[in-house]
Structure 1
Amino acid sequence: MRDQEPAPQGTERRLSTKEAAELLGVKPETVYAYVSRGQLSSRRVSGGRGSTFDAGEVEALARRNRRESVGGSGSGGELSVRTRITLIESDRYFFRGVDAVDLATRHTYEEVAEWLWTGRMLPGSTFTAPSASVAVARRAVEALPEHAAPADLLRVATIAAATADPLRFDLSEGAVLGTARTLIPTLVAALPPAGHRRRDEGPLAHRLWSGLSVHEDPDEASLRALDTALALLVDHDLAASTLAVRVAASARAHAYAAVSAGLGVIEGPLHGAAGGLAHRLLTDVLDQGDAAPVIADELRAGRRIPGLGHRLYPGEDPRARALFALLEQIPRAEPALLAARDIVETTARHAPLHANVDLALAVLTVSCGMAPSAAETIFAVARTAGWIAHALEEYGERPLRMRPSGLYAGPKPPQPLPE
């Protein structure tokens, strides 16, 4: 038993229910659930209430739970984490067991987010930002220099919104869901308008449009493509930013801080910024009228062609396929679609790679009058809902389980003190 003298040799070390629960990182009632499932044995306290548990048995179960919760995947020692949110297999992906493309093409971003969070479909779901949260987020964003990147704006807006929420440390499911439903529209509302008046009402995609596009009055097909892009990108299993969110949530950081951790990771060119690189490639092809010289320059410079291939999809990226289908319904997107096809066909001469969602996003941003950085903004706003879902799931796990052991490779100690 902790903080007690060790049991005499030859006697069995017993733990109280409270001690067993603490060692396992669960609630006391869960300890009794382990007993009912035959995973633990218990012994009633003589002449009193409650039960005691064999310490060795409890410690063995704790070790087994840790291995099953976070451990080697069996392929290269990669970290694996049990989750009920997203499954990716056979060039498809699923949200809580339902085809994610079907969800995204038949429901709004807000409805898909609610499904991801709660496992319930709530038709007509809309997210509304509190005026106080919007005001403080806008003031913080307006204080940034003009060259601030989208992730900078959103990260600062997230921190500002957190300061306006005195109850942010409440990690109960209801409180975190309340945060999610107000934080996402606050981030959208904090974005400066893209050359015309800001829209603060209507569907979230329409509000986001005013912060991204120079076209003030979007057609319905363009808005639908933007909303579907948000829904398609809402989650994608344990991407780097999502793992960062789960690490923060494992340490019991509040939801704003967990989202901020995710925003700190997406700026990398191999993650959230990839759509912007594809946008610039696409505009170069449109300017030159031919993909061949543009692709040749990229290959000569030793750069990977953005917008092509995905390590999780040996075949076609289902997100790209769904978004391209919607973009084909937008007449002004035709030149960008033809340029994207030229990129894929030209690159296929040396590497048969399919278009991924970054190239589809590039077609959307180029054809709808958006800056290259718009793809990163769309990605970050969309993925915020997925980050919240993973934070919620992690809050239900043992605290600080995201604590791998370092493999020390430095000088063998003890070393002399440096002079």
Structure 2
Amino acid sequence: MSGLDDVIAADTSLSEVDGLNGRLVICGRTLDDLAGRVSYEELLELLLSGLLDQPAEHIRAALGAARVRAFAELAHLDDGLLALSITGGLRALMARLPDDETAETALLLAAAPAVFVPALVRRKAGRSAIAPLAAYGYAEDMLAMLTGMAPTRAATLALDTYLVTVSDHGLNASTFAARVVASTRAGYASAVLAALGALKGPLHGGAPGPVLDMLDSVGTPDDAGRWLTAELAGGRRLMGFGHRIYRVRDPRADALKAALRRLGDAGGLDAERLALAEAVEREALALLRQKKPDRPLETNVEFFTALLLEALGFPRDAFTGVFAAGRIGGWLAHAHEQIANGRLIRPQSRYVGPKAA
């Protein structure tokens, strides 16, 4: 029972992760049909249909107004909060939001990471936070608040693709944490905070930054094979490869690789950086198949996440927060589904300690 592998803990209509065939379905649509084709607002229309019951254009307007509300909370962004990591600061700011089970609160919680993460990045760098523009879409506004400039359409599409791609992924650790807390009827904010707590751990969502550290260490495409061989010989993990569920290639990796290429075609990505990443991926996969033939170690979502978020201007310590900005749609959807259809989650444990006298 270690890790609860293969234990069914919920019935859901939100997402299906088919690890054997490398397929992700969200609300009845494959990731191939969603990534790069729908906006984050359109994705939320699918995920939160039982909670919001609004078309995407209304969700877009409501999220814009909610971002303006969230920005007011930055008045509480003091030196103590700025001393925290970006993930810690995000969690602290989210804890100030209302905690009930209303659609209004769900929208505010969904909007908040798009405001708080760019503000934390800027304030920690000694710059002023930038107010949201309610008329912008979610991804567009997040980039504008980060850079202070109107983003290109290519950059907006790239971030939208990322947010959609990571929006939901079955009962991963953070989503399960959200469902457990939601089952107690504690409120949406409490469920989201539990999810953020789980996301902070390095075993769940913590590898995109180290992927860039790996690329920096490799240096050039010609050095990829030598460097990766040395890492494997030293018993060290290659970041961005392997997944607990997928026995074949992670479909999210393909979606983000396509987004990166589109961004590169539009001039928004350093061609040498992409060439280095592709060389590292090619060499790593060949070495892993040779050295670990009994383990299915394919490219995962974190490998191309790192390159995409770097190209869009997010620093490495903000990657977890940007992930939360996408996954929060899934967290809220699972919390709502648990409240509507579930009951208090209370599994049993098996005692293996010493016998009482």
Same fold (TM over 0.5): yes
Deviations 1:129-173 (A, max 9, x none): 26554323x1344343545223212211111113xxxxx33x3xx
Q: Could you report, residue by residue, the CA deviation over 1:193-230 in whole angstroms, capped at 9, with x for unpaired residues?
A: 53576251112112222455x58453221221111100
Conservation of the 8 A alpha-carbon contact between 2:81 and 2:89? no
Partner residue, 2:164: 231
> Which deviates further from its counterpart, 182-191 or 289-298?
289-298
2:235 counterpart SS class:
coil
Using the alignment, how far apart are the partners of 1:280 and 1:215 within structure 2?
A: 27
* Partner AA of 2:313 in structure 1: G
2:294 counterpart residue number: none
Counterparts of 1:312 and 1:187, CA distance in 2: 27
Alpha-carbon distance in structure 2 between the residues aligned to 1:196 and 1:294 = 41
Bigger Cα displacement from structure 2, 238-247 vs 344-353: 344-353
CA distance in 1, matches of 2:111, 2:216: 30
Q: Which amino acid aligns with 2:281?
A: V
**Inter-CA distance 196–369: structure 2 relative to 1 (3 Å threshold):** farther
Partner of 2:16: helix, strand, or coil? strand
Please say if residues 41 and 56 of structure 2, whose CA atoms lie closer than 8 Å, have aligned partners that are also in contact.
Answer: no
Residue 204 (str. 1) matches residue 138 (str. 2): yes
Bigger drift between 316-325 and 348-357 goes to 348-357
Q: Which residue of 2 aligns with 1:30?
A: none
Q: Which amino acid aligns with 1:99?
A: T
How far is 1:333 from its partner? Answer: 3.8
Question: Given residue 353 of structure 2, which amino acid in structure 1 is its aligned partner?
Answer: G
Answer whether contact 1:336 1:366 (CA < 8 A) is retained.
no
Secondary structure class of the residue paired with 1:153:
helix
Q: Which residue in the other structure is 1:142 paired with?
A: 78
Shift of 1:287: 6.8
Q: 1:286 to 1:387 in 2, by over 3 A?
A: same
Greater RCO between the two (CA within 8 Å, min separation 6)? 2
Instruction: Give yes or no for contact 1:140–1:160 (8 Å, CA) kept in 2.
Output: no
- After superposition, the Cα gap between the structure-2 partners of 1:297 and 1:95, relative to the gap in structure 1 and judged at 3 Å, is same
- Distance, in Å, in 2 between the alignment partners of 1:215 and 1:281 is 30
- From 295, 308, 316, the counterpart of 1:364: 308
Q: Is the 8 A contact 1:259 1:388 kept in 2?
A: yes
Q: How far, CA to CA, are the matches of 2:350 and 2:94 in structure 1? A: 35
- The CA distance in 1 between the partners of 2:106 and 2:227, in whole Å, is 42
> Does the aligned pair in 1 maintain the 2:221–2:275 contact within 8 Å?
no
Inter-CA distance 372–296: structure 2 relative to 1 (3 Å threshold): farther
| Match 1:303 to one of 231, 236, 241 | 236
Aligned to 1:105, the other structure's residue is in SS state: coil
What are the within-5 Å matches in structure 2 for residues 13-52 of structure 1?
A: none
Counterpart residue type for residue 114 of structure 2:
V
Q: Which amino acid aligns with 1:82?
A: D
Runs of at least 5 residues in structure 2 that lack an aligned partner in the other structure: 290-296
Please give the per-residue CA displacement for 1:16-39, whole angstroms capped at 9, x wherever unaligned.
xxxxxxxxxxxxxxxxxxxxxxxx
Letter in 1 for 2:94: T
Residue matched to 2:335: 391
Distance 1:261 1:217, change over 3 A: same
CA 94–349 in structure 1, closer or farther in 2 if over 3 Å, else same: closer
CA contact (8 A) 2:39 2:160 kept: yes
Per-residue CA deviations over 1:375-394 (Å, capped at 9, x if unaligned) read 21221111111000000011
Distance 1:122 1:101, change over 3 A: farther
Residues 231-270 of structure 1 correspond to what in structure 2 (within 5 A)?
A: 231-270=164-203
| Cross-structure match for 1:341 | 278
SS at match of 2:17: strand
Give the 3-state SS of the residue equivalent to 1:410 in structure 2.
Answer: coil
Say whether residues 1:93 and 2:24 are aligned partners.
yes
Shift of 1:122: 2.2
Residues 368/335 of structure 1: CA separation in 2 closer, same or farther (3 Å cut): farther
- What residue identity is the alignment partner of 1:320? A
The TM-score normalised by the length of structure 2 is: 0.83
Shift of 1:79: 4.4
The question of whether the paired residues in 2 share the 8 Å contact of 1:275 and 1:375 is answered with yes
CA contact (8 A) 1:215 1:369 kept: no
Deviates more, 1:380-389 or 1:300-309: 300-309
Distance 1:351 1:235, change over 3 A: same
Of 184-193 and 356-365, the range deviating more from structure 2: 184-193
Q: When the two structures are superposed, what TM-score results if normalisation uses the length of structure 1?
A: 0.71
- Secondary structure at the counterpart of residue 265 of structure 1: helix
Q: How many residues align?
A: 328
Structure 1 distance, partners of 2:317, 2:222, is: 23
Q: Distance in 1 between matches of 2:276 and 2:188?
A: 40
Indicate conservation of the 8 Å contact 2:167/2:327, yes or no.
yes
Distance (Å, rounded) in 2 between the aligned partners of 1:383 and 1:88 = 15
Structure 1 stretches of 5 or more lacking a match?
Answer: 1-71, 163-167, 415-419
Higher helix share: 2
Q: Look up the match of 1:82.
A: 11
User: Over aligned residue pairs, what C-alpha RMSD do you find?
Assistant: 2.6
Other-structure match for 1:316 = 249
Which one of the candidate residues 317, 338, 348 is aligned to 1:373?
317
Native 8 Å contact 2:91 2:196 kept in 1: yes
